């Protein structure tokens, strides 16, 4: 399900289908999960497997962290930062068992607070890529 969503985004914004070298091998994903002591939600897990190494997807403007750099911070699994570090995005640890949880945004300047994006990761990614396109970043 999620793999097809990411393939559609690649077709729209990269002009091609994702290939094996765009993603992180499953064994590395499992190793990171073990080191963090958690299992990634299916939507996030499949993102890294499908396109976690695709530079254009991951470093266009906002910085989707390499798998080795995702971290548990403030009760959230943080996996993306705004290009100047003003905000970060993550999933609440209490929602990790959900296949496709809502993404939360953290304001990184005091007072540090988390806000719901009211979007799942594929929804947020789609809207982010649409904004990149609108701004001429692709």
Q: Are 3 and 14 in contact (CB under 8 A)?
A: no
pLDDT in tens, 4-39: 999 999 999 999 999 999 999 999 999 999 999 999
* pLDDT the model gives residue 42: 97
DSSP string, 44-107: HHHHHHHHTT-HHHHSSSSEEPPGGG-EEETTEEEEEE-TTSSEEEEEEGGGTTSSSPEEEEEE
* pLDDT the model gives residue 136: 87
pLDDT in tens, 51-94: 999 999 999 899 999 999 999 999 999 999 999 999 999 999 99
* pLDDT the model gives residue 138: 73
* pLDDT the model gives residue 104: 98
* pLDDT the model gives residue 57: 92
115 band by pLDDT with thresholds 50, 70 and 90: very high
Q: Are 103 and 24 in contact (CB under 8 A)?
A: no
Mean pLDDT score across all residues of the chain: 95
Domains of the chain, CATH where assigned: 2-134 (3.40.1580.10)
Q: Are 6 and 47 in contact (CB under 8 A)?
A: yes
* pLDDT the model gives residue 53: 96
* pLDDT the model gives residue 1: 83
* pLDDT the model gives residue 56: 92
Q: Are 95 and 82 in contact (CB under 8 A)?
A: no
Select from 11, 4, 5 the least CA-distant residue to 121: 5
């Amino acid at each position: 399900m999620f793999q097809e969503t990411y393939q559609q985004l690649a077709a729209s914004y990269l002009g091609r289908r994702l290939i094996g070298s765009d993603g992180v091998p499953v064994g590395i994903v499992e190793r990171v999960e073990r080191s963090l002591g958690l299992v990634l939600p299916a939507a996030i897990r499949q993102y890294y497997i499908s396109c976690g190494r695709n530079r254009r997807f991951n470093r266009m403007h906002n910085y989707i962290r390499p798998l080795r750099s995702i971290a548990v911070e403030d009760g959230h699994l943080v996996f993306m930062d705004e290009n100047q570090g003003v905000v970060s995005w993550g999933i609440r640890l209490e929602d990790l068992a959900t296949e496709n949880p809502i993404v939360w945004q953290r304001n990184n300047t005091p007072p540090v607070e988390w806000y719901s994006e009211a979007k799942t990761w594929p929804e947020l990614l789609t809207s982010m890529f649409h904004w990149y396109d609108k701004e001429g970043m692709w």
